[in-house]
Chain A
Amino acid sequence: MSDALSTRIHFSDEQAMLLDSAATFCRERSPSASVRRLLATDTGFDPAVWQAMADLGWLGIAVPEHFGGSGLSAGHLAVIAEPLGRHLLATPFASTQLFIQGLLAGGNEVLQADWLPRICQGTVGSVALFEDDGDWDLSHLQARAHVSGATATLQGHKTLVADAAVAGALLVSVQLDGEPALALLPTAGLPAQALVRETVVDETRRSYRLQLDGLQVPAATLITGIAALAALQAMRNTALLLASAEAAGGIAGVLDVVVDYLNTRSAFGRKIGSYQGLKHPAADMLVGLERARSHLHHAATLLADGDDAEIALRMAKVEAGDSFVFAGDRAVQFHGGFGFTWDCDAQLYLRRALWLQPWFGDAAHHRRRLADRLWPLAA
Chain B
Amino acid sequence: MSESVSDERILASPELDAFRSEVAAWLAANRPPTPDFLLPESFMEVGTDPQFHYLRDWQKKCYQAGYLGMTWPKAYGGGGKPQVYQDIATAEMARAKVPFFPNTIGLFWAGPLILAIGTEEQKRRFIPGILSGDDIWCQGFSEPDQGSDLANAQTRAVRDGDHYVLNGSKIWTSLGQHAKYMILLAKTDPAARRYAGLSYFLIPMQVPGIRTQPIRKLTGEYGFTQTFFDDARVPADCLMGREGEGWAIAMKTLTFERGASGGQAGGLTRMALGIEDVIELARRSRRDGRPAIEDPFIRDQLVRFQIEAQGDRLCVARGQVPALCSERPDAIPLSNKLRFSEHNRRLYQFALTLQGANGGRWVGDAQAVDGGLWPRSYLNAFASTIGGGPSQIQANIVGERVLGLPKD
Contacts and interface: CB of A to CB of B under 8 A. Distances in A.
Nearest to A285: B403
Interface stretch (A108-116, A175-183, A275-283): A275-283
A371 B315 contact: no
Contacts of A107: none
A329 B147 CA distance: 36
Contacts of B314: 7, 9, 291, 294-295, 297-298
Interface string B104-131: 0000000000000000000000000000
Nearest to A255: B403
Contacts of A267: none
Interface string B130-154: 0000000000000000000000000
Contacts of A271: 406
B294 interface: yes
Contacts of B299: 368, 371, 375
Given A263-B405, A364-B300, A291 B395 contact: no
A219 B92 CA distance: 58
Interface string B294-331: 10100110111011101111111110110110011001
A34 to B, nearest CB: 22
A4 B91 CA distance: 14
Contacts of A6: 8
A282 B339 contact: no
Contacts of A318: 303, 307
A319 B303 contact: no
A274 B405 contact: yes
A8 B8 contact: yes
A374 B276 CA distance: 11
Contacts of A263: 404-406
Contacts of A291: 308, 311-312, 314-315, 339
A293 interface: yes
B303 A293 contact: no
B403 A315 contact: no
B398 interface: yes
B399 interface: yes
B288 interface: no
Contacts of B318: 9, 293-294, 297-298
Nearest to B407: A274
Given A8-B8, A9-B317, A280 B310 contact: no
Given A280-B399, A293-B318, A274 B406 contact: yes
A247 interface: no
B42 interface: no
Main secondary structure of the interface of B (DSSP, over half): helix
A162 B249 CA distance: 61
Contacts of B8: 6-8
A252 B398 CA distance: 15
Contact of A287 (B95, B276, B323, B398): B398
A274 B296 CA distance: 41
B315 A290 contact: yes
A295 B311 contact: yes
Interface string A165-191: 000000000000000000000000000
Central interface residue in B5, B312, B314, by most chain A CB within 10 Å: B314
Contacts of B405: 259, 262-263, 273-274, 279, 282
A367 B316 contact: no
A286 interface: yes
A319 B306 CA distance: 11
Q: For this complex, into which size category does the number of interface residues on chain B fall?
A: 35 or more
Contacts of B399: 273, 279-280, 282-283
A30 interface: no
A15 interface: yes
A293 B324 contact: yes
A255 B315 CA distance: 19
Given A274-B406, A287-B398, A375 B317 contact: no
Interface string B219-260: 000000000000000000000000000000000000000000
Interface string A59-95: 0000000000000000000000000000000000000
A368 B295 CA distance: 11
A11 interface: yes
B321 A11 contact: yes
Nearest to A5: B310
B403 A259 contact: yes
A289 B403 CA distance: 12
Interface in A226-267: 252, 255, 259, 262-263
A374 B396 CA distance: 36
A1 interface: yes
Contact of B395 (A262, A280, A289, A370): A280
Contacts of B328: 286
A283 B320 CA distance: 22
A377 interface: yes
Contact of B302 (A4, A319, A371): A371
A276 B335 contact: no
B408 A274 contact: yes
Interface string B1-17: 00011001000000000
Given A8-B317, A11-B321, A286 B402 contact: yes
A371 B300 CA distance: 7
Interface string A1-23: 10011111111010110010000
Nearest to B391: A280
Interface string B186-216: 0000000000000000000000000000000
A173 B330 CA distance: 46
Interface string A361-372: 000100110110
Nearest to B328: A286
Contacts of B48: none
A297 to B, nearest CB: 6
Interface in B337-376: 338-339
Given A263-B406, A286-B331, A287-B339, A1 B95 contact: yes
A290 B335 contact: yes
**List of 6 A-B pairs having minimum Cβ-Cβ separation, nearest first:** A291-B311, A294-B314, A16-B323, A273-B405, A371-B299, A279-B399
Given A279-B405, A367-B300, 4 more contacts: A7-B313, A252-B327, A287-B335, A294-B311
